[in-house]
Amino acid sequence: MVLGADSLGTAALQALAREFHLSETAFPMAPDVPGADYRLRIFTPEVELPFAGHPSVGAAWVLARRGTIAPGRVVQSCGAGSLPLDVQAGGGPVTLTGGTPSCGRERDPAPLLAGVGLRGADLAGPVRDASCGLGFTVLPVVPGALERLQVDLAALRRLDLGDGGTFGGLNVVTWDGLARSRVFAFEAGVAEDPATGSAALALGAYLVACGLLAPEGETAYDVVQGVEMGRPSRLSCVVTAEDGAAIACRVSGSVVPVARGRIRRP
Q: Are residues 152 and 243 in the same domain?
A: yes
Q: Are residues 38 and 151 in the same domain?
A: no
Residue 96 lies in a domain: no
Q: Are residues 134 and 183 in the same domain?
A: yes
DSSP state of 64: H
Residue 265 lies in a domain: no
DSSP state of 163: T
CATH number at residue 19: 3.10.310.10
Residue 108 lies in a domain: yes
Q: Are residues 113 and 61 in the same domain?
A: no
Q: Give the number of C-alpha atoms closer than 13 A to the C-alpha of residue 259, restricted to the C-beta side.
A: 5
Q: Are residues 39 and 130 in the same domain?
A: no
Q: Are residues 59 and 186 in the same domain?
A: no
Rounded distance between C-alpha atoms, residue 176 and residue 213, angstroms: 11
- pLDDT tens digits, 182-220: 999 988 888 999 999 999 999 999 999 999 999 999 999
Q: How far is CA 172 from the centre of its chain?
A: 14
- pLDDT tens digits, 147-164: 999 999 999 989 888 765
| Global model pTM greater than 0.95 | no
Q: Which of 42, 66, 91 is the last residue of a domain?
A: 91
Residue 247 lies in a domain: yes
Q: Are residues 20 and 114 in the same domain?
A: no
Q: Which of 58, 91, 124 is the last residue of a domain?
A: 91
Q: Give the number of C-alpha atoms closer than 13 A to the C-alpha of residue 126, restricted to the C-beta side.
A: 16
Please report the DSSP string for 34-61 in residue order: TT-SEEEEEE-SS-EES--HHHHHHHHH
Q: Are residues 74 and 179 in the same domain?
A: no
Rounded distance between C-alpha atoms, residue 79 and residue 123, angstroms: 33
Q: Are residues 83 and 107 in the same domain?
A: no
For residue 242, the tally of other CB atoms under 10 A from its CB is: 12
Rounded distance between C-alpha atoms, residue 156 and residue 210, angstroms: 24
Residue 50 lies in a domain: yes
At residue 86, the 3 state secondary structure works out as strand
Pick left, alpha or beta for residue 120 (phi over 0 → left; psi -120 to 50 → alpha; otherwise beta).
Answer: alpha
Q: Are residues 138 and 248 in the same domain?
A: yes
Element of type H or E holding 249: strand 245-253
SS3 content of the chain, % helix, strand, coil (to 5): 25, 35, 40
Residue 176 lies in a domain: yes
Q: What are phi and psi of 143, to 5 degrees?
A: -55, 140
Rounded distance between C-alpha atoms, residue 218 and residue 238, angstroms: 7
Q: Are residues 109 and 20 in the same domain?
A: no
Residue 261 lies in a domain: no
Q: Residue 64: is it exposed, middle or buried by C-beta count within 10 angstroms (0-12/13-18/19+)?
A: buried
Q: Are residues 185 and 233 in the same domain?
A: yes
Q: Give the number of C-alpha atoms closer than 13 A to the C-alpha of residue 36, restricted to the C-beta side.
A: 19
Q: Which of 91, 113, 139 is the last residue of a domain?
A: 91
Query: Which domain, by its residues, includes 217?
Result: 102-252
Which pLDDT tens digits describe the chain residue by residue (266 residues)? Answer: 999 999 999 999 999 999 999 999 999 999 999 999 999 999 999 999 999 999 999 999 999 999 999 999 999 999 999 999 999 999 999 999 999 999 998 999 999 999 999 999 999 999 999 999 999 999 999 999 999 999 999 999 898 887 656 789 999 999 999 999 999 998 888 899 999 999 999 999 999 999 999 999 999 999 999 999 999 999 999 999 999 999 999 999 999 899 999 998 86
At residue 168, the 3 state secondary structure works out as strand
**What pLDDT, on a 0 to 100 scale, did the predictor assign at position 202?**
97
Number of structural domains (the chain) is: 2
Residue 41 lies in a domain: yes
Rounded distance between C-alpha atoms, residue 225 and residue 158, angstroms: 25
